[in-house]
Structure 1
Amino acid sequence: MSKKNNDIEKVDGPSFEGVEEASVFSLSEHTDTTTFYGINNSNILLLKNLFPNIRIIARGHVIKIQGSDAEMEIFKNALGRLELFVLNNNSLSHENIIEIVKGQQPAEITFENLILHGVNGKSIMARTKNQQKLVNDFETNDLLFAIGPAGSGKTYTAIALAVRALKNREKKKIILSRPAVEAGEKLGFLPGDMKEKIDPYLQPLYDALQDMLPAAKLKDYMENGTIQIAPLAFMRGRTLSDAVVILDEAQNSTTMQIKMFLTRMGLNTKMIVTGDITQIDLPMQQKSGLIDALEVLRNVKGIAKIEFDKGDIVRHKLVQRIVEAYEKAAPRPPKGGV
């Protein structure tokens, strides 16, 4: 990036009503403005929220700004770092912006940690060492257990690996499963077909898929069976071949259910089992199938176990503090449930 494009120079600002002067930040001609500004200018809107006392007008490669000298200096530095990140990574998420504005260093995208490019070229990557371990272990193991707290990225990373395998034609199908644990309700008594019954329980998985596949392509995959929903209770008798199979929230499966699930593995299939053993919703007298499987299979070759922790949490920073507070406030739940 040249010095000319880094400088903010004072110019007349007719675009600001009642403001005599504004400053101009000129983006490099190599900077993709769609990536920098975000879809529907969402990145600029976020910057306006982060810098409420600075007025911003962005057109093309020119950003006009106005505010106090101190705030302008901070904003100028932030814009320069944001542009550098875009030039290096060809992406810019809201999380990246917040990290950069706060002075933190966002995770750099490298050949090793990039999993795939999702919708609108979004870089889907391993952001923590345990997410990277899941990526690495996926290459050499057919069954993986990813255990850890909510927000640690274990399920999102698992789905990204499944989508990559599908895109690379390494697998023909993605099969998603989740136990349906709802007090007083059984799937058979819920209205609608199987998809309608299980959809509410699988919504977090769909949310991840929508980040990685265009809506039309995802719809096609769902309709032709390339991506399937498979409620855990309904999987008995199937053999799952040429697929990546993900069992999410496995802590809420029974011992018999998880044994049944694991023995569905067919040729050229990989399975990823995710769960949080501190969030068991089974009755007190019933042992979690996930805990049982981890004990029974601990010495079996070809199986990897990745333990995520609060350091892997990639949601809002407050989530990590919430997890820590609950860990301090309550003892570890019994193996049978909470």
Structure 2
Amino acid sequence: MNVLEVDVSELSLEDYQTLAGEQDIHFKTIEKELGVEFRTGAGSFRIVSDSDAKNQLALRVLQGCTARIENGLSLDREEVSRLCLMSLKNLPVDEVYEEGAPLLRTKQGKMIFPKTENQKRLCNAFFHNDVIFATGVAGTGKTYLAVAYAVSQLKKNNISKIILTRPAVEAGESLGFLPGDMKEKVDPYLRPLYDALNEMLGAETVARYMEKEVIEIAPLAFMRGRTLNEAVVILDEAQNTTQAQMKMFLTRMGKRCQMIINGDVTQTDLVKKKDSGLIQATSLLRGIDRIHIQVLDESDVVRNPLVQKIIERYAQVE
């Protein structure tokens, strides 16, 4: 039996209750994920397990939780579970994003901030580059963080417009067979962008901004022939762009324009994966000043912790 004493004397009662969670749910989550036992008493706190290594893993998770609490950030069961997975992978858990943190406060007051090292590098890149490529599997926060950054720049009056776009290729389906006008046809494909905007600004504000064309959402084909100025332009699902489309998009950049290109190169719906404009661009443009390429992986998944485990299993058979 290995026992590790933990000093929590510097935590206020309120912070300690946040650390433990309602009915000690955070402690119970760590116990289940890491195979340890927490023993608490009057003025004492111990981690008990069959090995010192497990105790140290649990201690790192507690340090990560404490760092978030001290920085005024939210802590919930899913976040604690994610920190457990990061600890098991020997990834940093106790660092909190500094520059621009929180990236944005939503209409409901929720703070949006990067939760992993790669996400932190991505957010840093937003502030120092004109073109940012973010590639990675689903759930790594690529689109969500990009939209949050764009909204924050709009609120600070650093830009006059947000443009969100994506190619109209999706799982082999053709827009021509879908009912309605062009907007009705592409709206389902742009739903993740609408959802993010509605959470951050509220549906009424989004509708008003769209009416005034402060926020523009359109399929990639609509970008042809334009010059985009004073805007943050986000290209989502970029793995489905052809090489010609990617070149067309990148050359739309005008004055005070910033482009964020997101995609998962493992999920392209193009007939030939090698034709993907995202794959070509991240290879061809690497090393150019003010162009940043950030790769996110399974350890950056911030959805339900089960998503990370599902992705890892599928990766084993691909």
Question: What TM-score, normalized by structure 1, do the two folds share?
Answer: 0.69
In the alignment, residue 122 of structure 2 is paired with which amino acid? L
CA contact (8 A) 1:96 1:106 kept: no
CA contact (8 A) 1:254 1:286 kept: no
In structure 2, do the counterparts of structure 1 residues 86 and 251 end up closer, same or farther at CA, with 3 Å as the change threshold? same
Q: Which has the higher helix share?
A: 2
**Inter-partner Cα distance in structure 1 for 2:70 and 2:160:** 35
Matches within 5 A, 1:1-338: 6=13, 89=72, 91=74, 95-96=78-79, 111-112=98-99, 113-182=101-170, 185-284=173-272, 287-330=275-318
In structure 2, do the counterparts of structure 1 residues 235 and 106 end up closer, same or farther at CA, with 3 Å as the change threshold? same
In the alignment, residue 72 of structure 2 is paired with which amino acid? N
CA contact (8 A) 2:134 2:262 kept: yes
Once the 2 structures are TM-superposed, how far is the Cα of residue 295 of structure 1 from its aligned partner?
A: 2.3
CA RMSD between the two structures: 3.7
CA contact (8 A) 1:152 1:309 kept: yes
In the alignment, residue 180 of structure 2 is paired with which amino acid? G
Once the 2 structures are TM-superposed, how far is the Cα of residue 313 of structure 1 from its aligned partner?
A: 0.9
**Inter-partner Cα distance in structure 2 for 1:84 and 1:182:** 41
Once the 2 structures are TM-superposed, how far is the Cα of residue 243 of structure 1 from its aligned partner?
A: 0.5
CA contact (8 A) 1:116 1:125 kept: yes
Once the 2 structures are TM-superposed, how far is the Cα of residue 284 of structure 1 from its aligned partner?
A: 2.9
Per-residue deviation, residues 223-280 of structure 1 (Å, max 9, x unmatched): 2111111201222111111110011111111111111111111111000001111111
In the alignment, residue 89 of structure 1 is paired with which amino acid? G
Per-residue deviation, residues 1-55 of structure 1 (Å, max 9, x unmatched): x99x94xxxxxxxxxxxxxxxxxxxx69xx9xxxx9xxxxxx979x7xx99xxxx
Unpaired segments ≥5 residues, structure 2: 1-8, 30-36, 46-62
In structure 2, do the counterparts of structure 1 residues 150 and 184 end up closer, same or farther at CA, with 3 Å as the change threshold? closer
CA contact (8 A) 1:91 1:121 kept: no
CA contact (8 A) 1:99 1:106 kept: no
In the alignment, residue 295 of structure 1 is paired with which amino acid? S
Question: What TM-score, normalized by structure 2, do the two folds share?
Answer: 0.73
Per-residue deviation, residues 133-153 of structure 1 (Å, max 9, x unmatched): 111111221101101111111
Q: Secondary structure at the match of 2:253?
A: coil
* Matched residues, number: 275
**Inter-partner Cα distance in structure 1 for 2:83 and 2:295:** 28
**Inter-partner Cα distance in structure 1 for 2:71 and 2:289:** 40
